[in-house]
Structure 1
Amino acid sequence: MSDTIPPRPPLPGQSRSTTPAESATPPVDPAQAPYIAPHARPLDGAGAPPAGASFSAAPTGIHPTVPTQPYGAPQASASAPASDGKVGAGKIVAIMVAAALVGGAAGLGGAAAGASFFGAAQTVVTSGPSTVTVNSPDDVNATTAIAAKTVPSVVTISASDGSSGGTGSGVILTEDGYVVTNTHVVTLDGATADPSLRVTTSDGKVYQATIVGTDPMYDLAVIKLTDAEGLTPIEFASSGDLNVGDQTVAVGAPLGLANTVTTGIVSALNRSISIASSAAPETPSEGEEGNESPFQFDFGQGEQNTTASGSISIAVIQTDAAINPGNSGGALVDGDGKLIGINVAIATAGGTSTEAGSIGVGFSIPSDIVQRITDEIIEDGAATHGLLGAMVGDAAAREGATTAGAYISEVTGGGAAASAGLRAGDVVTSFNGLPITDATDLTAQVRALAAGSTTTVVYVRDEQTQSAEVTLGELEQ
C-alpha cells in the first residue's frame, strides 16, 4: 500500500527546513497538474502559483483583512413551517419556535464599509442562539430550516502565532466545548504547534481554546473551549448512507463572514485526493511508488511558511456547494441538518492561491471518518491509522494494463499485506467494500481505518479475481 512517499526536490526558492511535526518532502510542482487547496488563507495575501499552472490553490481556512466576529448584531433565529413541501423542511421546521417573531430593523449588518444588504426592515424568527434572517416567514423553505438548525453548532476560529494569523471554521461536538476543525486551521498551515486560539460562536460569544490533539494524516483536529457550557452539539449522520445527488448545505465563515450558508448536492462519492499535509509524519512506512499526484495543495502561507510538507491521501465527499477560504473545518450537512462531512479542500481554476474561490468542486472528510478520529483524539489525544505494509502504484498507468486499481510493487515482510497472502504484481480493485481505482484510493481507505482493523481486500492475480481478509498494522506518526 502506500506509506513511504519518496522525497522530491524542492521547487525554486523553497526551503528544505522542517519543523519537528513535519516531513521534509516538498509538495509536487503545481505546474504539473490541477490541484486542490485547503480552506486556509494567509494574512499577507502571498502564495501565487507557479507560472503555467492549470489550476491555482484557493486556501479556505485563513483569510486576511476580515474580523473573526460575526458581522452585525447577533440575531437569534428559526423559521416558520414550510409551505412548499420540500424534502426535509417539515421535520426541521417543526423543531423551531415560529411564534417568537422579532419585528423591526434587525438587519444583517454591513460587511463592507457599513453598507446594509437590505433596504427594508426585516423580520427575524427566534429559536435559540443562531443568526438566520427571515424576511418572509410564510415562504420559509428547507434550506432556511436546515440553516437554523445547523448554524448554532458552527463556530469561527481565529488562530495566531504572534506574527501571523487567520480564521477558519469549526463544528461543536459536545455541550462543554469540544470542537472539530482542520489541522491546517489550528497550526496555521503547519507554521506553529502552539497557536493562540480564539473561538466565536454563532451568537457572538468569544472563548479562548486549546488544542486537544491534531491528526495531520486526515487533516483533522479537536480543540477545547475554555469554561464553555450549554453549547449546541452537531448531530451526526452516517456518510455511508449518502447517495450521489443528495442535498448538501455548507455552513462556515468563508472570507471571515460568519454564519454563511451555501447549498448544493453530493457530486461524487468514494473520491480520494492526495494533498500536502501541514504536519506529515517524518518517516511513514509505505508510499505511493513515486506517483505524481494530479492534485496539489497550497496552504496559502506563501513566503511566510518556508517549511516543506509531505503529502497525505484522504477519502472525501465531493460537493458543488460553494466552499471558499474560511470554510475549512466547517460543516457539510444533509437535508435533515445532520453532519455528513467536515469541509477541507477545494479545486480552483485561475487566479492566485489567495484570491481564487469556489468553482463548484469542493471536498469534505466523511462524517464516519470524522467521528472515529475525533472520538480517539478526545479519548487518547491522538488517532490511529491503518498500515497495509506495501508499496503501490497506479495499475492503469503501467504498460499493458488491463484493469484499473492499485498495483502492488513490493510487500513488506511480516506486514499486513504479506500476512493476508498479497504479493508483488497483485492489483487491488476493492478494499473494505469500496472500489479502488488507483494508489491514492487505496492509501486513503487504509488510512481511514483504525490500526488493527480487519477488512476484506479484493485483488486480481494472473487475470483471476481473488479476495482475502487483512488485519491492518499501525502507521507510525
Structure 2
Amino acid sequence: MGTGWAPPPPGSQGGAGTARRGPSVGVMVAMAVVIALVASVLGSVGTYLLTKPASGNDPSYSLGPIPSGATNRAPDSVAGVASRVLPSVVSLEVGNGSNTEGATGSGFLIKNGYVVTNNHVVALAAKGGEITIMFNNRKTTTARIVGRDPGSDLAVVKPEETFATPEITLGNSDQVVVGDPVIAIGSPLGLTGTVTTGIVSSLNRPVIAGDDTGTSTEEPAYISAIQTDAAINPGNSGGPLVNGRGEVVGVNSAIATLGRSMSSQSGSIGLGFAIPVNQTRRVAEELITTGKAKRPKIGIVVDKDYRGQGVRIALEPAGGQQPVDPKGPAGKAGLKAGDVILEVDGLVLQDGNELIALIRSKAPNSQINIKYQRDGQERTAKLVVASDDEPTPSPS
C-alpha cells in the first residue's frame, strides 16, 4: 500500500468476515425429545379414538371364571356342626285363638319324636291355645303338650308328624368349661334356622327366667345357667346350645338386655343363658313318663333379708314352714336355723337365688358337699338331695 491509502476495514485481514452461527446441540436434543413426546401422545389418542366402542362399553371385559374346588367343610367346623344339627331344630308358634297375643320360640327333636322347648314358649297353649311346629324342611304340623315344668322353664311337646326328622344328640353339661366354643341354633325374631357362635363365658350363673310379662301366675324358674356370648335373641328360647361335636349342652332360655319397653325388647348384648342339658335330660324324662317333674330340695327356708356373706337359714318359721325340716336333707345333716351356708360343692355362694338355682339343678338322691358357718365356726356336711313326694303338676 502506498502513501495516501486509507487503512483496511476491520476484519478484512486474514480472509473473509465471521459467518452467523446455527442452534446449539443441546437445543436440538431438547426439541427432538419434545417432538417425540407429542407424537407419542397424539398416537395414543388416535389409537383410543379409533378403537373406542361407540356405546362406552367394553365387550371384551371379563373378571375371569368363578373359582372351582371342593366346598366340603370339616366335620368339627361351625359349618360342619350346623349342617348336622339344623335338621333336628324346629320353630314353634303358639297362639290363643286371637290376633293380639302369641308366642314364638325354638325347640329340638329327641328320642321317639318328642320336642324339648321352654315352658314360657308353650304356656299359652296350656290355656287353650294351639302349637304349630315348623321343621327345618319348612313342613309344618300341630303339636300337643306332653308336660311342662315352670320351675325349670322346660316343657316337652309331641308333634303330630316328624317328617323323618333325625333326633339330636345330647351331651354332658358337667363336662363344659369356660372358654369352650358353642353354637346357638334357633329362630331369633322369627328368622328360622339361624346359627350363631361364641364361647361359654361363665358357669353356674343364677338366673330367674320364665314369663316376664307380669301377667303369669306361675312360679318363676330358678336356673343355674350356662352363660354364653353367642348371640341369643327373642325367639331363640327353647333352641339348643351345642358344643364343637354337635352335642346339646344347654337349652337357650334367657338373655340379658340393656333396656326394655312395653312394645319391644332390645337384642343380644353378648349375655345369653342356657339350662344345662343334664337337668334338661332329667326333667324331660320325668315329664314324658309321669307328666310332671320332681322338685329337688334340701329342706330349708332361706332368710331373704340377710345381706352378709353366704346364705343364711331363716331364724323363724315362714309360710307355715320351719326354718329347717328335721326330716329333710339339711336337718338330717345337722343344720339349724341361723346357720350360714357358705359353699356348695366348692362354689362360694353370693345369695339365696344362687343356692335355690344350684339345688334345683341337681338330681334327686345326688350328694352335695356344703360348707357352713355357726357361731363364727366353719363346718362341713354332706347332703343327699331330696324331692317333693307329690309335686303338683302344672295344668297341661
Q: Under a length normalisation based on structure 2, what TM-score does the superposition of the two structures give?
A: 0.72
Q: Are 1:186 and 2:140 counterparts?
A: no
- Matched with 1:106 is none
Q: Does structure 1 retain, via aligned residues, the 8 Å contact 2:73–2:80?
A: no
- Matched with 2:173 is 239
- Matched with 1:248 is 182
Q: Are 1:271 and 2:271 counterparts?
A: no
Displacement, 1:232?
1.2
| Secondary structure of 1:459 counterpart | strand
- Matched with 1:368 is 278
Segment of structure 1 superposing worse, 387-396 or 209-218: 387-396
Displacement, 1:365?
0.3
Cα 1:241–1:395 change in 2 (3 A) is farther
Segment of structure 1 superposing worse, 349-358 or 136-145: 136-145
Cα 1:242–1:451 change in 2 (3 A) is closer
| Secondary structure of 2:350 counterpart | coil
- Matched with 2:92 is 157
Cα 1:177–1:433 change in 2 (3 A) is farther
Gaps of 5+ in 2: 1-65, 315-322
- Matched with 1:341 is 250
Q: In 1, distance between residues paired with 2:301 and 2:275?
A: 25
Q: Under a length normalisation based on structure 1, what TM-score does the superposition of the two structures give?
A: 0.61
Q: In 1, distance between residues paired with 2:185 and 2:121?
A: 16
Cα 1:245–1:393 change in 2 (3 A) is farther
| Secondary structure of 1:375 counterpart | helix
Cα 1:213–1:309 change in 2 (3 A) is closer
Residue type of the alignment partner of 2:200: V
For the pair shown, which has the larger CA radius of gyration, 1 or 2? Answer: 2
- Matched with 2:159 is 225
Q: In 2, distance between residues paired with 1:343 and 1:393?
A: 30
- Matched with 1:457 is 370
Q: Are 1:201 and 2:135 counterparts?
A: yes
Indicate which of 361, 381, 387 corresponds to 1:468: 381
Displacement, 1:417?
1.6
Q: In 2, distance between residues paired with 1:392 and 1:445?
A: 14
Q: In 1, distance between residues paired with 2:218 and 2:161?
A: 35
Displacement, 1:236?
1.4
Once the two structures are aligned, what percentage of the paired residues are identical? 40
- Matched with 1:383 is 293
Q: Does structure 1 retain, via aligned residues, the 8 Å contact 2:369–2:382?
A: yes
CA offsets per residue over residues 66-98 of structure 1, 9 Å max, x none?
Answer: xxxxxxxxxxxxxxxxxxxxxxxxxxxxxxxxx
Residue type of the alignment partner of 2:223: I
Q: Does structure 1 retain, via aligned residues, the 8 Å contact 2:150–2:220?
A: no
Q: In 1, distance between residues paired with 2:79 and 2:162?
A: 27
Residue type of the alignment partner of 2:178: V
- Matched with 1:316 is 225
| Secondary structure of 1:391 counterpart | coil
Cα 1:464–1:306 change in 2 (3 A) is closer
Cα 1:452–1:194 change in 2 (3 A) is farther
| Secondary structure of 1:422 counterpart | coil
Q: In 2, distance between residues paired with 1:396 and 1:265?
A: 34
Displacement, 1:199?
0.7
- Matched with 2:337 is 424
Displacement, 1:415?
2.8
Residue type of the alignment partner of 1:436: L
Residue type of the alignment partner of 1:162: G
Displacement, 1:216?
0.7
Displacement, 1:329?
0.2
Q: In 2, distance between residues paired with 1:332 and 1:185?
A: 17
- Matched with 2:310 is 405
Q: In 2, distance between residues paired with 1:153 and 1:441?
A: 32
Indicate which of 299, 311, 331 corresponds to 2:240: 331
Displacement, 1:384?
0.4
In terms of fraction of residues, the more helix-rich structure is: 2
Count of equivalent residues? 312
Q: In 2, distance between residues paired with 1:192 and 1:237?
A: 30
Q: Does structure 2 retain, via aligned residues, the 8 Å contact 1:182–1:329?
A: yes
Gaps of 5+ in 1: 1-121, 124-134, 279-297, 300-304, 399-403
Residue type of the alignment partner of 1:168: G
